[in-house]
Chains A and B, each alone.
Chain A
Amino acid sequence: METRHKILILDDDTDWLSLCREQLGALPSRPEILTANNAKRALALLETEEIRLLISDLKMPRIDGLQMIAIVRRRFPATRTVVLSGLEDEEYRSRAYALGVDLFWLKAEMQRNSKLFSECIESLLGQADRESDTGFRGVQSKSLMDIIQMESLSRTSTVLRVTHGPLVAKLWMQDGELTDAECEGARGEAAFQRLLAWRTGTFENLPAEPGRERTIHKPVNALLLESAQSMDESANPSTAPESVESNLHRKTMWKLAQLTREGAEFVVAVPLAGGEPEALGTQSVAAFGEWTQRAAAIARRLGERLEAGPLSHIAGQSLERNIVLLVRGERAFLVGWPAEDPESLPEKSRKLVASWES
Chain B
Amino acid sequence: MGILRKIFGGPAAVQQLPTGTVTVDRQGHVVTSTVTSAVSLSLLQAVGREVLELFREARAAQMPLAEISLHFGSLRITARELRGGAIIFLFPETAMSRTPTPARP
Contact = CB atoms under 8 A, between A and B. Distances in A.
A318 B47 contact: no
B72 A317 contact: no
A315 interface: yes
Interface in B53-100: 53-54, 57-58, 60-75, 77, 95-96
A315 B17 contact: no
A310 B69 contact: no
B57 to A, nearest CB: 5
B66 A291 contact: no
A317 B67 contact: yes
Contacts of B72: 299, 302-303, 306, 308-312
Contacts of B50: 298, 301-302
Nearest to A298: B50
A308 B58 contact: no
A64 interface: yes
Pick from A284, A310, A318 the residue with the most CB of B within 10 Å.
A318
A73 B50 CA distance: 46
Contacts of B77: 302
Chain A contact surface mostly: mixed
Nearest to B15: A307
B103 interface: no
A315 B61 contact: no
Interface residues of B, number: 31
A312 B73 contact: yes
Interface in A62-94: 64, 87, 89, 91
Pick from A301, A308, A314 the residue with the most CB of B within 10 Å.
A308
Chain B contact surface mostly: mixed
Given A298-B53, A312-B72, A318 B63 contact: yes
B35 to A, nearest CB: 12
A291 B63 contact: yes
Contacts of A291: 57-58, 60-61, 63
A222 interface: no
Interface string A279-298: 00000100110110011001
Nearest to B72: A308
Contacts of A305: 43, 46-47
B47 A316 contact: no
A313 B68 CA distance: 11
B18 interface: yes
Contacts of B15: 307
B84 to A, nearest CB: 16
A59 interface: yes
A314 B66 contact: no
Given A295-B54, A295-B57, A306 B47 contact: yes
Contacts of B95: 89, 91
Contact of B68 (A284, A311, A314, A343): A314
Contacts of A323: 63, 65
A316 B58 contact: yes
A319 interface: yes
Contacts of B60: 287, 291
Nearest to A291: B61
14 contacts: A87-B96, A287-B63, A301-B50, A305-B46, A307-B17, A308-B72, A309-B73, A309-B74, A312-B72, A313-B71, A316-B68, A317-B65, A317-B67, A318-B65
Q: Give the top 10 A-B pairs by smallest Cβ distance, nearest first.
A: A309-B73, A308-B75, A308-B72, A287-B61, A312-B71, A291-B61, A316-B65, A309-B74, A317-B67, A315-B69
Interface of B: 15, 17-18, 43, 46-47, 50, 53-54, 57-58, 60-75, 77, 95-96, 101
Given A294-B57, A318-B63, 15 more contacts: A58-B96, A59-B96, A91-B95, A302-B50, A302-B77, A308-B74, A314-B68, A315-B69, A316-B63, A317-B65, A317-B66, A317-B67, A317-B68, A318-B66, A346-B71
